[in-house]
Amino acid sequence: EDKVVQSPLSLVVHEGDTVTLNCSYEVTNFRSLLWYKQEKKAPTFLFMLTSSGIEKKSGRLSSILDKKELFSILNITATQTGDSAIYLCAVLRGGSNYKLTFGKGTLLTVNP
Amino acid sequence: AAGVIQSPRHLIKEKRETATLKCYPIPRHDTVYWYQQGPGQDPQFLISFYEKMQSDKGSIPDRFSAQQFSDYHSELNMSSLELGDSALYFCASSLLNREAFFGQGTRLTVV
């Protein structure tokens, strides 16, 4: 059974802080790891990571994957109140059984 | 840019009724996923399709079935609805092995 574990489950910070969200996984035939942001609606895609050690960056957000240790981190610098959301990590299985398995998410609250 | 379209957006049904949820993937996407998300929970995988063939199946009750049609749209059929089926149902689509994009979801309430 594929397993995705995120930590922390919840995090409260002040605007301007930097946060690191963690995701570890166990999956048969790993293909990629994806990060999504979910506010009160559908998850929106942030990053897809397939190779170890290559940082992906988008503005204040960045993410990296370690395939040897089976984890990924999502960093958000200079947080803003608009970053408040649930951040979901998901792993995509390869082969012929296409399945995206989600972790329980990290609820980030950024206070002004 | 075209996104994943789901309909209806909201649905209220009584226990033991049947519901059909529809999903129209992003054009040229060949993979469709269905997820169920209860309040405060992560999305639970139900079923996926690749090129109109079922690819993988998750914790989907026998009362639920899904298919993907020749035009690539997909339908999730839910029969003998129970109160516990009340949830947000998401459809997502992708190119094979690429990032999945989610529709806005159908909120199903069973009363």
What CATH number did the domain enclosing A66 receive?
2.60.40.10
Place A28 in a pLDDT band, splitting at 50, 70 and 90.
confident
The mean pLDDT value for A42-60 works out to: 95
Which residues of chain B make contact with A88, given a CB cutoff of 8 A? 42-43
Interchain CB distance below 8 Å, A99 and B92? no
Share of chain A above pLDDT 70, in %: 100
Number of domains in chain A: 1
CA-derived radius of gyration, chain B? 13
Interchain CB distance below 8 Å, A99 and B45? yes
Mean pLDDT across chain A:
95
pLDDT value at residue B61 = 93
Locate the chain A residue with the closest alpha carbon to B107. A41
Interchain CB distance below 8 Å, B104 and A41? yes
pLDDT at B107 over 80: yes
pLDDT at B104 over 80: yes
Q: List the one residue out of B49, B47, B31 whose CA is nearest residue B97.
A: B31
Locate the chain A residue with the closest alpha carbon to B105. A42
The mean pLDDT value for B90-96 works out to: 95
Please state the φ and ψ torsions of residue B84, each to the nearest 5 degrees: -70, -10
pLDDT, tens only, B37-82: 998 899 999 999 999 999 999 989 999 999 999 999 999 999 999 9
Report how far residue A66's alpha carbon sits from residue A52's, in angstroms, rounded to the nearest whole number.
5
First to last CA, chain A: 40
Share of chain B above pLDDT 70, in %: 99
Of A34, A96, A102, nearest to B42 by CB-CB distance is: A102
Interchain CB distance below 8 Å, A43 and B50? no
| Structural domains present in chain B | 5-110 (2.60.40.10)
pLDDT, tens only, A77-98: 999 999 999 999 999 988 888 8
CA-derived radius of gyration, chain A? 14
Establish if B3 touches chain A: CB-CB under 8 angstroms. no
Report how far residue A41's alpha carbon sits from residue A91's, in angstroms, rounded to the nearest whole number.
20
Which residues of chain A make contact with B44, given a CB cutoff of 8 A? 102
Domain that holds residue A49: 3-111
pLDDT value at residue A59 = 97
pLDDT value at residue B59 = 84
pLDDT value at residue B87 = 97
According to DSSP, the residues that pair with B110 across neighbouring strands are B13
Establish if A58 touches chain B: CB-CB under 8 angstroms. no
